[in-house]
Amino acid sequence: MEISRGKARAGIGGGICQLSNLLNWMAWHTPLTVVERSLHSYDPFPDQGRVLPFGSGAAVFWNYVDWQVTNTTPHTFQFRVFIASGRLKGEIRCSAHPMQTFSVFEKNHFFKRQGDEWYRSNEIWVSVFEKGIDGKIPKHLHDKLLVKNWSKVCYEPDSTRYKIFA
């Protein structure tokens, strides 16, 4: 399946974005910096079983749309991806023990109608904590805005589940 101009169609494609979505989510849980990231141009399907916030993925399309990350730390990072029980999984390895932890979360999620079309918006943030050592509680260092999302949707949102502005 492919998504083209907001429509699902038969074709070869679709799987590589699952990988780029996972890599992006993993990078957001590290001190690495995502320097190039694109969203799909449409939100084609309503949420069903979504476990990550809307817009937390990264679309890729050879040879036009890339996902890039940079490492400004003195440490080496390795992304490991694998299939387990039929699901794509990942882990991050680092040459040093991490001194920070990261918690990614969503804020200000809503749908908005403009004319005959619906749009979806949210913000993705990360809270950075100094890792608790020897039983100490982790210390909150700061919150950082990662991205503001705004995307056309190809369905009418469920007004019983979401904040909607007409």
User: What pLDDT band is residue 36 in, cutting at 50, 70 and 90?
Assistant: very high
Amino acid at 124: I
Report d(CA 96, CA 94) in Å as an integer: 5
Helix, strand, coil % (nearest 5) of the chain?
10, 50, 45
**Residue 81, Cβ neighbours under 10 Å: how many?**
13
Q: Tell me: pLDDT of 24 over 80.
A: yes
pLDDT tens readout for residues 136-155:
899 999 999 999 999 999 88
User: What pLDDT band is residue 158 in, cutting at 50, 70 and 90?
Assistant: confident
pLDDT tens readout for residues 71-116:
999 999 999 999 999 999 999 999 999 899 999 999 999 999 999 9
Q: Tell me: pLDDT of 12 over 90.
A: no
Q: Is the dihedral of CA 135, 52, 145, 164 positive or negative?
A: negative
Q: Tell me: pLDDT of 1 over 80.
A: no
Q: Tell me: pLDDT of 7 over 90.
A: no
Cβ atoms 27, 34 nearer than 8 A: yes
Q: What is the pLDDT of residue 52?
A: 87
Give the neighbor-by-neighbor strand order of the sheet with 117-130. 42-43, 139-153, 117-130, 100-114, 164-165
Q: Tell me: pLDDT of 125 over 90.
A: yes
Number of domains in the chain: 1
User: What pLDDT band is residue 128 in, cutting at 50, 70 and 90?
Assistant: very high
Domain extent for 46: 2-165
